[in-house]
């Protein structure tokens, strides 16, 4: 027989066993009590830890939602030049911007599409209203009948006036992407676009011309796509910092 009885981690010498100690009956009831207390303590601790982790994740919860749109998709390829479909370039760059934004705790990025599907233009822009986004940005590639034309330009819907948030977003973005890529700066432009479907600040960045052979080669190069995406991401952060001083660079 063992000289000690172990209860709640306290080892009692055999001679200090409770008076009336009766082998099996007492041992079993003590073990049962121990198990019940251990289970209750375990549940209490796990509830505490769960609430604590929820509280800390709530503190870190991204608060600024941004909507990123990859232009075209599905039945709508956008411009198609030398086998390169604009919708694929748009999606590749938009996904990279999304990944960069996802790594930033302050941002909650959403994409209008993350696959080769078609979504109506109005629905894309209205998503920004539905999720109360801080901004809507469509990412597209350009094309024209002029193979020598190249460069980056950012568009704003004509319902906006220079100086309003959409123009600020477009100007900050434009200079950020141009600075990052070294591409020709074609400036911020305005015309009637579907972007008036959202009340949120909205812009459309044309990241280069697929009709320029040199720029088309760059736009299909993952390294250059990464530079464009970095420029767009930094432009978004710079714009958000500009409109909200509490949102600064990490």
Nearest CB to Zn ion, comparing residues 11 and 146: 146
Q: Is 71 in the site for Zn ion (CB under 5 A)?
A: yes
Report the first-to-last Cα separation within the chain, whole angstroms.
66
- Cβ distance 110 to 130 under 8 Å? no
Stretch of 2-10, 68-76, 99-107, 189-197 lying at the interface with Zn ion (CB under 5 A): 68-76
| Minimum CB–partner distance for residue 139 and Zn ion (Å) | 9
Here's the x/- map for Zn ion, 19-58, by CB under 5 A: it reads as: ----------------------------------------
Burial status of residue 8 (CB atoms within 10 A of its CB: 0-12, 13-18, 19 or more): exposed
Nearest CB to Zn ion, comparing residues 78 and 201: 78
* Position among 78, 151, 165, 208 found at the interface with Zn ion (CB under 5 A): 78
| Minimum CB–partner distance for residue 221 and Zn ion (Å) | 19
Distance of CA 161 to the CA centre of its chain: 29
| Minimum CB–partner distance for residue 125 and Zn ion (Å) | 14
**Can you tell me which residue has the tokens 């390829």?**
77
Alpha-carbon distance of 212 to 150, in angstroms, equals: 6
Q: Is 235 in the site for Zn ion (CB under 5 A)?
A: no
- Helix H segments across 149-195? 165-181
Alpha-carbon distance of 240 to 228, in angstroms, equals: 18
- Among positions 115-144, residues that touch Zn ion (CB under 5 A) are 140
Q: Which residue is nearest to Zn ion, using beta carbons?
A: 140
Nearest CB to Zn ion, comparing residues 194 and 242: 194
CA distances (Å), origin 130, targets 113, 119, 133: 15, 16, 8
Binding residue count for Zn ion, defined by CB under 5 A: 3
**Which stretches of the chain bind Zn ion, using CB under 5 A?**
71, 78, 140
């Amino acid at each position: 027989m063992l000289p000690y009885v172990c209860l709640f981690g306290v080892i009692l010498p055999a001679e200090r066993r409770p008076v009336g100690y009766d082998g099996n009956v007492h041992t079993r009831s003590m073990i049962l009590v121990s198990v019940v207390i251990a289970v209750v303590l375990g549940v209490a601790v796990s509830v505490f830890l769960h609430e604590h982790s929820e509280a800390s994740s709530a503190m870190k919860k991204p608060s600024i939602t941004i909507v990123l749109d990859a232009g075209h998709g599905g039945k709508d390829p956008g411009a198609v030049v030398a086998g390169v479909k604009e919708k694929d370039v748009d999606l590749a760059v938009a996904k990279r911007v999304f990944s960069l934004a996802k790594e930033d705790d302050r941002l909650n990025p959403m994409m209008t599409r993350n696959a080769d599907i078609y979504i109506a233009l109005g629905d894309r822009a209205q998503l920004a209203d539905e999720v109360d986004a801080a901004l809507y940005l469509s990412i597209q590639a350009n094309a024209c009948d002029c193979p020598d034309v190249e460069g980056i330009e950012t568009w704003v819907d004509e319902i906006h006036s220079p100086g309003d948030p959409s123009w600020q977003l477009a100007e900050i973005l434009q200079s950020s992407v141009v600075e990052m890529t070294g591409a020709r700066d074609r400036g911020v432009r305005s015309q009637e676009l579907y972007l008036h479907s959202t009340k949120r600040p909205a812009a459309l960045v044309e990241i280069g011309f697929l009709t320029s052979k040199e720029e088309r080669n760059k736009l299909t190069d993952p390294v250059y796509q990464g530079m464009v995406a970095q420029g767009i991401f930094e432009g978004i952060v710079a714009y958000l910092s500009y409109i909200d001083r509490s949102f600064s660079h990490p």
